Structure 1
């Protein structure tokens, strides 16, 4: 036995080589927020320095979607990016001192607005910029309409006046509910379903497509479906969007030409209602531009970022 071990390890270097280590630019924090009498332990990540810039994830996911942007020195030299996980998402666990399991999770506009108020106040942010995608994209014009005094600019990736409820059949809602009740279905269904709405090859890569699926597969039961309540029903600026004042909160719209969730004409209808807003169509991009094709997204976002630097 001793001979075996000697033969196996006699050439092993007693001083192992140091691994090739590098650190990410992003740091994580927790903040406690009380909303409607319930305390939430909210996780957020940040990187960079300069103008505060809030980043909102899509339905059922978390702040990981912005990891490429938050590690890009071309932007972090001028912006303090802050990507948060809404309660029930990512590392923001459900509230500990509240029987959340007795209630159906459903995201509503009123809660999001109160969350934004509390988060901005807690971090003592002075008129930050905002960007969100999909569900978060819809929130951009909502913030410009309901909270213009708190934001210098709002960027909506895949934003519209509303989402057509005709696209949501009873069969789809039933299937979403089943997917959230059955964890085996949920993991497979949500990842694959959301991979299907990124841009086709060669505009995206297998790596990026799979990462979209992975992030969507990690959500809590019922959270994706609950977020869709806001996306499909509670966000509706029809008859209101024309009152958005872009001199108070500038509104930018970035929409992918391959986005089936928010086709270009949907964002165009919103832009037509908001005087002074800027609409940019991103060629060869699907629903999750900042994650599925970051290099393409960056080419369009850079002009928006440069303009935001001039706003107060």
Structure 2
């Protein structure tokens, strides 16, 4: 497992594919890690250099204190990673929390991007903050295990929940093992800023991919609203919820292929 020291932290990452041509950087959701993109890495790594990484405080990256886990800091981490690996301008693709980072990079560091893709994400403040607050308090006190059913419902759509697939079982087990400290990362998801006005100046191509069954950021939050804010495009994937990149990777790959060919 490669690690890299950037922006005052250490990030775990994987680097696959040819070193010539374009680079794709994948940024994961809250509660997940970089392996959520394994199907997409397998699809693209024969033609693109593909970077996946764990956010600070999650996965195999270094732990971090609550004040150091804001969306602004995570965005600075991503920019520092791109620069430290000397990737040039990349296609930055993020699911949920990773999409928050993608949109902030598009607004603030267009020099690092060829395009941005936000999957199951939002440019807005958290509209369910009051609803999530007691869940966050319980998670901080007891970890994610007592809330595994709630977290799974938040992160997956109805089709996935009904499937009882090995993929779903694997991630349920991962959620159940998350430590109390995951609540600090969740805190900054719930208390993030609205960046719609900031996105008005975005010039890099932006694609929003929504899951039709997203329980957290349903369309139009994860689709039309992002496209409107950025002047980009949006598509909606059937049979997928909040973790659209993981739930319907073949369809997401097809949308990404089109986006990459046009960006």
TM-score range, shorter chain: 0.7 to 0.9
Aligned to 1:162: 124
Residues 184-238 of structure 1: CA deviation (Å, up to 9, x unaligned): xx2231x322221312237863123223323323433222x32234323324113
Secondary structure of 2:191's partner? helix
Pair 1:304 & 2:261 matched: no
Measure, in 2, the Cα distance between the counterparts of 1:82 and 1:31. 12
Residue 263 of structure 1 deviates from its aligned partner by 0.9
Query: Contact (CA 8 Å) 1:128, 1:151: kept in 2 or not?
Result: yes
Q: Among residues 76, 80, 92, which one is paired with 2:49 in the alignment? A: 80
Give 2:37's aligned residue: 66
Q: What is the CA–CA distance in structure 2 between the aligned matches of 1:80 and 1:289, rounded to whole Å?
A: 22
Checking the alignment, whether the CA contact within 8 Å between 2:13 and 2:52 is kept in structure 1 is yes
1:43 to 12, 20, 32: 12
Q: Is the 8 Å Cα contact of residues 153 and 251 (structure 1) preserved in structure 2?
A: yes
**RMSD, aligned α-carbons:** 2.3
Q: Is contact 1:106-1:229 (8 Å) kept?
A: no
Distance change >3 Å, CA 205–CA 46, structure 1 → 2: farther
- The one-character-per-residue Cα deviations of 1:152-186 (angstroms, maximum 9, x if unpaired) are 01110012221344x122x6323322222224xx2
Structure 1 segments, 4+ long, off by >6 Å, are none
Q: Quote the offset at 1:114 in angstroms.
A: 1.9
CA distance in 1, matches of 2:161, 2:192: 32
Most deviating of 265-274 and 198-207: 198-207
What SS is found at the alignment partner of 1:66? helix
The answer (yes or no) to whether the contact 1:61–1:219 under 8 Å persists in 2 is no
The superposition leaves residues 135-158 of structure 1 with CA deviations (integer Å, 9 ceiling, x where unpaired) of 112222211111111110111001
How far residue 278 of structure 1 moved from its aligned partner, in angstroms, is 1.0
Show the counterpart of 2:237.
282
Q: Go from structure 1 to structure 2 and tell me whether the alpha carbon gap of 1:241 and 1:204 turns closer, same or farther (over 3 Å shift).
A: farther
Residue 197 of structure 2 is matched in structure 1 by: 239
Equivalenced residues, count: 258
TM-score under structure 1 length normalisation: 0.75
**Aligned-residue offset at 1:309:** 4.3
**Contact residue 162 and residue 232 of structure 1 kept, 8 A:** no
**Partner of 2:141 in structure 1?**
181
1:1-312 matches, within 5 Å, as 28-33=1-6, 35=7, 38=8, 40-49=9-18, 50-72=21-43, 75-94=44-63, 103-104=65-66, 107-165=69-127, 167-169=128-130, 172-183=132-143, 186-189=144-147, 191-197=148-154, 198-201=156-159, 205-207=163-165, 208-223=167-182, 225-245=183-203, 249-266=204-221, 267-275=223-231, 277-294=232-249, 298-309=250-261, 311=263
Q: CA deviation at 1:283?
A: 1.2
The structure with more radius of gyration: 1
Query: The residue matched to 1:231 in structure 2 has which SS?
Result: helix
SS across alignment from 2:105: helix
Deviation at 1:125, TM superposition (A): 0.6
Q: Is the 8 A contact 1:155 1:253 kept in 2?
A: yes
**Tell me, which stretches of 5 or more residues in structure 2 are unaligned?**
none
Greater shift in the superposed pair: 283-292 or 106-115: 106-115
Task: Give 3-state SS (helix, strand or coil) of 1:78's partner.
Answer: coil
TM-score, normalised relative to structure 2: 0.88
Q: 1:241 to 1:202 in 2, by over 3 A?
A: closer
